[in-house]
C-alpha cells in the first residue's frame, strides 16, 4: 500500500522540476494528483509518468499563482473533481539575480509575488477544504536562501526568508485545526530553474556552489520529492512549522581542512 493512498494532492509548479517530481512520486504512492502551472508540462516526462501512475490525474495550465481569481477557480475545480484536498505543495517559483541598488521594482515584485504571495494565495484557497476535513499537510518550497544570506540574490533571498516565516506563522494558526504546515529548503537542485548554472559560461559559479555542499554535488528533484513525501504523509503527523533542509550539507557549515 502506498504512503498516500486515498489522498488528494495539489501541486503547483507541476509542469517542471521539483513540482513535477513531487507529482510523480505522490502518484506512485497512491495519491490522486492535481497539478497547476503557468505553462504546460516542460518535456512531458515527469508529468506524463505521473499521469500513468494516477490515471485520473488533473492538470491545468495558464494558472498564475499571483492571480487570486485564477487560483480560486482552479482550486474549486480540483475540489469539484476530487471532493477533497489532503496535500498541497507550493512549488511554483522563479529564480533571479539582483543587488539592492540595481534591482528594478518590476524584478522585486515578480519574484516576491510569485514565490511568497503566490504560495500564500494558493494556501488561502486550499485551507477551507482542509479545515472542513480537519486534516491536511501544506508544504512550501523555500530554499537554503530562506535561512542564509546569498549575495547577488536580493529579491529571491527576501522571498524565501518570507516563506520560512510564513510557514511558522501558518503552522501556529492551524495546528489545532488539523493542518500541518512545513517547508523544504533545498540547496542547488538541477532543474530548468538552474539551467543557466549547468552551462559552460557559469561553470566556475556552479563549481563554487558545489563546494558549499558538503557532499560536493547538486541534488536531484527526486531527492526533494522524497522529503516532500515524508512531510505529506502521516509519518510526519507530529511535524509542523519545520524547515527541512535538503541541501547535501550546505547549511551544516564549512570545513577549513578541505
Ligand atoms: N532548483 C533549485 O536549485 C531550487 C533550490 C531551492 C529552492 N527551489 C525552489 O523550488 C521551487 C521549484 O523550483 P524548480 O527548480 O522546480 O523550478 P522550475 O523552473 O523547474 O519549476 C518551477 C515551475 O513554476 C512555474 N511557475 C513560475 N511562475 C509561476 C506562476 N506565476 N504561476 C504558476 N506557476 C508558475 C513554472 O512555469 C515552472 O513550471 C521554486 O520555488 C524554487 O525557488 C529550487
Domain boundaries, the chain: 8-193+221-247
CA of 41 to the centre of ligand 1 (A): 13
CA of 206 to the centre of ligand 1 (A): 19
The three cell numbers of residue 68 are 487570486
Ligand 1: which of 193, 198, 219, 227 to mutate, most ligand atoms within 8 Å of CB?
Answer: 193
Number of Cβ atoms within 10 Å of the Cβ of 231: 22
Residues with CB under 6 A from ligand 1: 12-13, 15-19, 37-39, 63-66, 91-94, 114-115, 118, 141, 143, 186, 188-189, 191-194
Contact (Cβ atoms closer than 8 angstroms) between residue 3 and residue 29: yes
Nearest CA to ligand 1 atom 7: 143
Q: Give the pLDDT score at 48.
A: 87
Q: Give the pLDDT score at 56.
A: 87
CA of 193 to the centre of ligand 1 (A): 6
Q: Give the pLDDT score at 36.
A: 97
Ligand 1: which of 13, 107, 155 to mutate, most ligand atoms within 8 Å of CB?
Answer: 13
Instruction: From the options 3.10.450.50, 3.30.300.30, 3.40.50.720, 2.40.10.120, give the CATH code of 8-193+221-247.
Output: 3.40.50.720
Active site residue 174: no
Strand partners, 179: 136
Contact (Cβ atoms closer than 8 angstroms) between residue 227 and residue 25: no
Give the Cα separation of 149 and 11 in Å (integer): 27
Contact (Cβ atoms closer than 8 angstroms) between residue 89 and residue 10: yes
Q: Give the pLDDT score at 55.
A: 78
Nearest CA to ligand 1 atom 42: 93
In angstroms, what CA-CA distances link 245 with 2, 188, 235? Answer: 24, 11, 18
Q: E strands, the chain, where?
A: 8-12, 32-36, 58-60, 87-90, 136-141, 179-186, 243-246
Catalytic pick among 26, 47, 58, 156 = 156
At 35, which helix (H) or strand (E)? strand 32-36
pTM exceeding the 0.85 threshold for the entire prediction = yes
Per-residue pLDDT tens digits of the chain, which is 258 residues long: 899 999 999 999 999 999 999 999 999 999 999 999 999 999 778 888 988 888 789 999 999 999 999 999 999 999 999 999 999 999 999 999 999 999 999 999 999 999 999 999 999 999 999 999 999 999 999 999 999 999 999 999 999 999 999 999 999 999 999 999 999 999 999 999 999 888 898 999 999 999 999 999 999 999 999 999 999 999 999 999 999 999 999 999 988 887
At 225, which helix (H) or strand (E)? helix 221-232
Amino acid at each position: 500500500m502506498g504512503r498516500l493512498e486515498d489522498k488528494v494532492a495539489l501541486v503547483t509548479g507541476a509542469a517542471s522540476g521539483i513540482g513535477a517530481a513531487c507529482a510523480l512520486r505522490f502518484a506512485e504512492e497512491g495519491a490522486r494528483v492535481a497539478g497547476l502551472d503557468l505553462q504546460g508540462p516542460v518535456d512531458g516526462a515527469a508529468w506524463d509518468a505521473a499521469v500513468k501512475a494516477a490515471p485520473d490525474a488533473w492538470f491545468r495550465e495558464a494558472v498564475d499563482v499571483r492571480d487570486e481569481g485564477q487560483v480560486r477557480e482552479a482550486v474549486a475545480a480540483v475540489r469539484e473533481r476530487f471532493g477533497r484536498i489532503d496535500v498541497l505543495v507550493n512549488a511554483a517559483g522563479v529564480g533571479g539575480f539582483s543587488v539592492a541598488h540595481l534591482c528594478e521594482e518590476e524584478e522585486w515584485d515578480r519574484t516576491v509575488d510569485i514565490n511568497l504571495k503566490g504560495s500564500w494565495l494558493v494556501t488561502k484557497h486550499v485551507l477551507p477544504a482542509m479545515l472542513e476535513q480537519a486534516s491536511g499537510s501544506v508544504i512550501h518550497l523555500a530554499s537554503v536562501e530562506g535561512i542564509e544570506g546569498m549575495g547577488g540574490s536580493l529579491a529571491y533571498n527576501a522571498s524565501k526568508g518570507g516563506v520560512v516565516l510564513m510557514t511558522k506563522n501558518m503552522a501556529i494558526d492551524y495546528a489545532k485545526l488539523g493542518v500541518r504546515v512545513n517547508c523544504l529548503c533545498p540547496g542547488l537542485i538541477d532543474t530548468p530553474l538552474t539551467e543557466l548554472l549547468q552551462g559552460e559560461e557559469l561553470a566556475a559559479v556552479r563549481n563554487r556552489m558545489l563546494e558549499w555542499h558538503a557532499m560536493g554535488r547538486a541534488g536531484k528533484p527526486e531527492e526533494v520529492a522524497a522529503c516532500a513525501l515524508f512531510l505529506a504523509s502521516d509519518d510526519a503527523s507530529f511535524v509542523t512549522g519545520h524547515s527541512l533542509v535538503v541541501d547535501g550539507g550546505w547549511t551544516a557549515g564549512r570545513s577549513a581542512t578541505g
